[in-house]
Amino acid sequence: MRGQQIRRTEGELCANLTKLKSATLGPGATSMDRTSNQRSLVDSVLASFESTPDARLRKIMRSLVEHLHQLVAEVHLSHEEWRKGIEFLTAVGKKCTPERQEFMLLSDVLGISSAVDVANDMHPEATPGTVLGPYYIADSPQRSNGASLIDTDDGGLHLRVRGVVSDVSGNPIPGARVDVWSCASNGLYPAQDPAQAPTNLRGLMVADRQGRFEFTVLRPHNYSIPMDGPVGELMRSTLRSPMRAAHVHLIVSAAGYHGVTTHLFDSECNYLSADSVFSTREQLVRKFSKDGTGQLTATFDVRLMELDPL
Ligand code: BEZ
Ligand code: FE
């Protein structure tokens, strides 16, 4: 069966190549010749993936081939532009280290990371996901629920965050895990700033029996994404702003539920509608306001979607 499929695919390939060769090329080529050659070529490439045993991989490769070829045809990509593109992707790869993921950053600034988040939205009532970003460090320090995560106080405003973790119907999830990381008032994370303790503004806490959690951080500031690599060059050459809207990061998880990687955004930040990684989502924006004691506070409830029963 598989052998037959492969033979058929090879047959299709040959037929497409013959069509391609027989079409008129060069300066005399009409746009109809070119379109028909492009289609034959795409069909040959598509046929070459038809025997992929994994149906999902086959589907993804089909779509990738269609879209990339469409781009080349649509912009009439020159050899020089294609070479520059290869050089750019090579530079992106060379910039990657265990600590620096330039491909992820490229995905972020192209909005692809956020597109994957949107594609994987669980439920209209579930808290939406956002980019993880490069500053998450696993093994966050354990903190008691209600603790301050400020290990290095830079004199900025303190922000108390309070919330409840519940399911999509609002039933609290006792013992949910809330992992937080945030930047200091200068917009830098501890890994970027030797003046901060490595644990500064990081912490993993467990929600109480009513799903409630509470912590204090410094009011986050907007900041620039890393601009010292090829993605930075792309941002400059396209006159894109590198700024991220001010936010606190959270990963919230609980047994039996889909976890969520998300942000709490400051409604007063000027970059909310111009976030360089397109991660702002309306449901995640909160007004920070002073409570009766003068403490700046934000309420951020998180709703998780139940896992499908096995
Ligand atoms: C961040 O929020 O930490 C971040 C996300 C994407 C790119 C750069 C930084
Ligand atoms: Fe961040």
Whether the CB of 88 sits within 6 Å of ligand 1: no
Domain boundary among 27, 58, 77: 77
Residue 248 Cα to ligand 2 middle (Å): 7
Domain assignment present for 65: yes
Q: How far is CA 196 from CA 63, 192, 201, 249, in A?
A: 46, 9, 9, 18
Residues 295 and 149 in one domain: yes
pLDDT score for 25:
58
Residues 297 and 199 in one domain: yes
pLDDT tens digit string along 44-77?
Answer: 999 999 999 999 999 999 999 999 999 999 999 9
Q: Which ligand 1 atom minimizes the distance to the CA of 189?
A: 3
Residues 71 and 123 in one domain: no
Whether the CB of 108 sits within 6 Å of ligand 1: yes
Domain assignment present for 96: no
Largest Cα–Cα distance of the chain, in whole Å?
81
pLDDT score for 34:
86
CB neighbours of residue 83 within 10 Å: 10
Smallest-distance ligand from the CA of 278: 1
Q: Which segments in the chain show pLDDT lower than 70?
A: 1-29
Q: Whose CA is nearest to atom 6 of ligand 1?
A: 133
What's the domain count of the chain? 2
Domain boundary among 77, 95, 123: 77
Residue 232 Cα to ligand 1 middle (Å): 13
Residues 291 and 188 in one domain: yes
pLDDT score for 32:
84
Residue 146 Cα to ligand 2 middle (Å): 22
Which two three-digit tokens encode residue 208?
A: 């109480």
By percentage, how much of the chain surpasses pLDDT 90?
86
Residues 180 and 289 in one domain: yes
Domain assignment present for 309: no
Whether the CB of 136 sits within 6 Å of ligand 1: no
Whole-model pTM: value is 0.89
Q: Whose CA is nearest to atom 8 of ligand 1?
A: 225
Q: What is the 3-state secondary structure (H, E, C) of the chain?
A: CHHHHHHHHHHHHHHHHHHHHHCCCCCCCCHHHHHHHHHHHHHHHHHHCCCCCCHHHHHHHHHHHHHHHHHHHHHCCCHHHHHHHHHHHHHHHHHCCCCCCHHHHHHHHCCHHHHHHHHCCCCCCCCCCCCCCCCCCCCCCECCCCCECCCCCCCCCEEEEEEEEEECCCCECCCCEEEEEECCCCCCCHHHCCCCCCCCCEEEEECCCCCEEEEEEECCCCEECCCCCHHHHHHHHCCCCCEECCEEEEEEECCCECCEEEEEEECCCCCHHHCCCCCCCHHHEECCEECCCCCEEEECCEEECECCCC
Residues 49 and 190 in one domain: no
pLDDT score for 309:
78
pLDDT score for 28:
67
| Full domain range(s) for residue 110 | 106-304
Matching residue, tokens 């990738």: 64
Domain assignment present for 285: yes
Domain assignment present for 155: yes
pLDDT score for 17:
53
Q: Whose CA is nearest to atom 2 of ligand 1?
A: 133
Residues 112 and 239 in one domain: yes
The CATH number given to whatever domain includes residue 237 is 2.60.130.10
Domain assignment present for 181: yes
Residues 192 and 277 in one domain: yes
Residues 264 and 182 in one domain: yes
Domain boundary among 39, 60, 77: 77
Residues 203 and 245 in one domain: yes
Residues 18 and 160 in one domain: no
Which of 107, 224, 244 is the pocket-test mutation for ligand 1 (most atoms within 8 Å of CB)?
Answer: 244
pLDDT tens digit string along 1-20?
Answer: 444 444 444 455 545 554 55
Smallest-distance ligand from the CA of 117: 1
Domain assignment present for 93: no
Which two three-digit tokens encode residue 224?
A: 């620039």
